[in-house]
Amino acid sequence: TEEMMVRSEKMTIAGQLAAGIAHEIRNPLTSLKGFLQLLQAGVSHKEEYFHVMIDEIDKIEAITSELLFISKPLTENRRKESVEQMIEDVIVLLQPQAKLKNIDLVVQQPIHGEIYCDRSQIKQVLINLVKNAIEAMHTVGKITLSVNCNHESVDVSIADEGNGIPDDILHKLGEPFFTTKQSGTGLGLLISKQILDSHNATLKIKQNKIKGSTFQLVFSK
């Protein structure tokens, strides 16, 4: 039945996560141990070693804090929320990171619409997607957030001018720990998809005509 399928799918993700965590955390730990042994043996160039060790610890820290988010019991707090307010909050939060790269966060007006949702969870999804958009862009450009309300749904789109997504990795997006980034965790889209699932919302990914990609959240009414 449908419920059983949903449940076994979740088990698979849990299993994948467990295997992934072991792997993702063991690698930096192995490397940390190696550097500690070198330091214990009294090598020179200590500064460099410390630098690498801190990077490895950062990686473990990033993974564990994202996992904490996944394992958080869903104390849901759903009500009608203004899309505009959530987008504004997310922009305030990510503006500094965008400015550093000369990226404009543009909100296409008018924005209206309400979604019945858990505000902090949907904000988390928007943060993950806008962060990815910022990280996909190397140079000056803009990220456009827009909302389209119709009879059936409220759609929120985030369009970037980044590198786009190569066709051969498109199907891997959202797999636990799939990342193409040096210091990525590969958990952002997984968490986002799970939150959207629980809201009966979907995530559509499209390549833009000229440059970059668009991630669209569809909340059915």
Q: Are strands 153-159 and 213-220 parallel, antiparallel or unpaired?
A: antiparallel
Q: Provide the mask over 47-76, with x wherever binding to ligand ADP is found by CB under 6 A and - wherever it is not.
A: ------------------------------
Find the binder of ligand ADP among 136, 156, 159, 217 (CB under 6 A).
136
Does position 179 bind ligand ADP by CB under 6 A? yes
Nearer to ligand ADP, 49 or 177 (CB): 177
CB atoms under 10 Å from CB of 126, counted, come to 24
- Applying CB under 6 A, the site for ligand ADP has a residue count of 20
Does position 141 bind ligand ADP by CB under 6 A? no
3-state secondary structure 120-186: HHHHHHHHHHHHHHHHHCCCCEEEEEEEEECCCEEEEEEECCCCCCCHHHHHHCCCCCCCCCCCCCC
CB 159 within 8 A of CB 108: no
Query: Binding segment for ligand ADP among 30-38, 49-57, 67-75, 171-179 (CB under 6 A)?
Result: 171-179
CB of 82 to Mg ion, least distance (A): 25
- Looking at residue 112, the DSSP 8-state letter turns out to be -
Does position 118 bind ligand ADP by CB under 6 A? no
Angle at CA of residue 187, ends 186 and 190, nearest 5° = 115
Chain residues in the site for ligand ADP (CB under 6 A): 128, 132-133, 136, 160, 162-163, 165, 173, 178-181, 184-189, 213
